[in-house]
Amino acid sequence: MTLDEVKLLMPIKANPYEHQVKAFGFVCGLFGIFNAPFYSRGAALLMEIGCGKTITAIEITGCLYQFEKVSSVLIVAPLSILGVWEEEFEHFSAFPFSLIVLKGSMAKKREQLEEISDKGLQIVVVNYESAWRLEKELKNFDADLIIADEGHKIKSAQTAAGKCMHALGDRARYKLLLTGTLITNKEIDVFSQYRFINSKIFGTSFYAFRNRYFDMLGYGNHTPVFRKYLREDFLKKMHSVVYRVTKAECLDLPDITEEVRTVELEPRAMKLYTNLEKESYTQMAGSEVSAVNVLTRLLRLSQITGGHLTDDEGDDNAVSTAKLDALSDILDAAMDEGKKLVVMARFIPELNDIQELLEKKGIGYSLIRGGVKDRAEEIRRFQEDEDCKVFVGQIAAAGLGITLTAASTMVFYSLDYSMSNFEQAKARIHRVSQKENCLYIYLVAKNTVDRKVLRSLREKRDLAKLLVDDYRKGKNPFKD
């Protein structure tokens, strides 16, 4: 089939990129929807951050549903990405579905599984940690298609998550694994992921796989060393069920891609946020409504979405790790892909959290924030030192006069209200010397001012004026 013919079968409310059409055609061929020289119950999309893995998976899912190959889908993903799946299905799918994201206590999640609607394609989304705890219930759900997002999370066959995904995958009709790269640190990492995708390729025994492709060397013969003369056979088997594309190869991508990653504050943090929002709105009725007044109140709300709140005594209190957990997953994916990353944040406590996270993970980083004296050396390290993987910048301090083109992906952990600061920060990676398309990821706390702030910046609207105008129209300016 031609690409145009394949594209006609994609049930999506968007114009897909050429690499997504090719990936769709490859996987649907493996699954038997199109004629293909080789069929497989499982496939992998090796697509780097920014290439549209999620949308491509939705297209494949919809096609399987339209061809009556599946009626139920289980999506297992890192906790911080669950909301992405919900939003992307709502925004892009052109087929009927009922989707539920399992949340709350384990008892609540079990109840949700029982209550899912039977309208259209049934879709259950759950995080890896909960999946293995709900293995019995998920087996009863009996999904026809299982999608393992950020599949490097199951690179170890001995973890509870890995064992669960293997057991669930053995029962499913189709399996789809999404990741930036299969080989994260060593070739031996491949086994568990292929055990899920298609156990016929490398078998079901880790030890048989290891003995086939590795020599055990070192003290006590505990270090597996890949047998290089088997590389051709190894790669041929790997690539048989994989569609691989890098951001640099996606010539059809725009120069800039933006992704909003929605996170949910913990119940306690959300309650704190809601109370402060109500209090702020009520207090405005008894004071002069001005840009300074409304932005001062907005500032405290923004602090909470970033995980902190300064009390009346001036002490900082940690109230949430939602954004930090989301950043942790993004860091894991970027490091597995061997990519450098720029992280921008506004508040000092957020920067402290990010630094602590990087040190805990053992990831080398450079930093520009208030008080850093040798800015040139921090920039040089990030641009030239292979071991310096992440640049952390305070938006107001790192937005001018620096080049960070060693990375093509920037994460906005939080946002400055200044349009100028926002545009200057973005320009640090999108410069003449940049060789790849740029991706901007915005961490936005659900049902908070984050989305309103981001919308005003992207639409180049004066945030203070927007908030004041909303209030004068009788609206709560802190609600989106």
Mean per-residue pLDDT, 97-112: 94
| CATH topology classification for 256-263+319-472 | Rossmann fold (3.40.50)
- The residue among 312, 346, 321, 316 whose CA lies nearest residue 268 is 321
Q: Give the confidence band of 145 by pLDDT, cuts at 50, 70, 90.
A: very high
Buried b (16+ CB within 10 A) or exposed e, 277-293: beebbeebeeeeeeeeb
Taking the CB of residue 415, how many other CB atoms lie within 10 A of it?
Answer: 26
Q: Give the confidence band of 185 by pLDDT, cuts at 50, 70, 90.
A: low
Q: Give the confidence band of 402 by pLDDT, cuts at 50, 70, 90.
A: confident
Of the chain, the end-to-end C-alpha distance in Å amounts to 45
The H or E element spanning position 72 is strand 72-77
Looking at residue 255, its amino acid is D
Looking at residue 426, its amino acid is K
Round to whole Å and give the CA distance between 417 and 262.
19
pLDDT of residue 281: 87
Query: Residues 6 or more apart from 24 whose CB is under 8 A from it?
Result: 6, 10, 16, 56, 59, 60, 63
Concatenating the DSSP letter of every residue in 336-376 gives HTT--EEEEESSHHHHHHHHHHHHHHT-EEEEE-TT---HH
Over the stretch 14-51, which tens digit does the pLDDT of each residue have? Answer: 899 999 999 999 999 999 998 878 899 999 999 988 88
The yes-or-no verdict on residue 244 having pLDDT over 70 is yes
The yes-or-no verdict on residue 399 having pLDDT over 80 is no
Strand partners, 259: 441
pTM, entire model:
0.84
Q: What dotted CATH number matches 3-249?
A: 3.40.50.10810
Please report, for residues 184, 195, 229, 230, the alpha-carbon distance to residue 233 in angstroms, rounded to integers and kept in the order given: 19, 17, 9, 5
In Å, how far from its chain's centre is CA 29? 27
Over the stretch 408-457, which tens digit does the pLDDT of each residue have? Answer: 999 999 999 988 889 989 989 988 778 888 999 999 999 999 999 999 99
CB 134 within 8 A of CB 100: no
pLDDT exceeding 90 applies to what percent of the chain? 68
Round to whole Å and give the CA distance between 292 and 297.
9
254 or 46, greater pLDDT? 46
Domain spans of the chain, in order of start: 3-249, 256-263+319-472
Over the stretch 162-174, which tens digit does the pLDDT of each residue have? Answer: 999 999 999 999 9
Same fold, 3-249 and 256-263+319-472: yes
Over the stretch 270-288, which tens digit does the pLDDT of each residue have? Answer: 999 999 999 988 887 767 7
Mean per-residue pLDDT, 382-392: 96
The yes-or-no verdict on residue 184 having pLDDT over 60 is no
pLDDT of residue 382: 96
- When the pLDDT of each residue in the chain is averaged and rounded to a whole number, the result is 91
Round to whole Å and give the CA distance between 323 and 354.
10
pLDDT of residue 167: 96
Round to whole Å and give the CA distance between 379 and 299.
29
The yes-or-no verdict on residue 347 having pLDDT over 80 is yes
Give the 3-state secondary structure of residue 241. Answer: coil
